[in-house]
Amino acid sequence: LVATLVNHALAGAVGTWITTWLGPIALRWVLGLSFLAMAIWILIPDQLDREQQPASRHGVFLTTLLAFFLAEMGDK
């Protein structure tokens, strides 16, 4: 619930702010270039870390919050 509320508030605020700075044609170019950048990024293989990281104190809540937030942003 927290991630959803923060996500929608942030998406609305950022979307409103961006549309005041960029016109429709510029937004189309930015969107198209961002899709191409994501496509290129997906083709780059991941690098695995060899070292184990210590567990966080708030691990479960923050991990779930971040994962849900990113999933919702990707869904927009």
User: Is residue 74 one of the residues assigned to a domain?
Assistant: yes
- Could you tell me the end-to-end alpha-carbon distance of the chain, in angstroms, rounded to an integer? 17
- Asked if residue 56 belongs to a domain, the reply is no
The Cα–Cα gap between 69 and 3 comes to: 5
Domain that holds residue 75: 1-24+62-76
Distance of CA 34 to the CA centre of its chain: 12
What is the per-residue pLDDT across 24-59, written as a single tens digit (0 to 9) for each? 899 899 889 999 999 998 898 877 766 766 666 777
Measured between alpha carbons, how far is 3 from 68 in angstroms, rounded to an integer?
6
Residue 75 located in a structural domain: yes
Mean pLDDT of the chain: 84
Is position 57 within any domain? Answer: no
Confirm if 62 and 56 have CB atoms less than 8 A apart: yes
Assigned domain for 34 exists: no
- Residue 24 sits at φ, ψ, to 5 deg, of -60, -40
Does residue 2 lie within any of the structural domains?
yes
- Indicate whether this model's pTM tops 0.85: no
Q: How many domains does the structure of the chain reveal?
A: 1
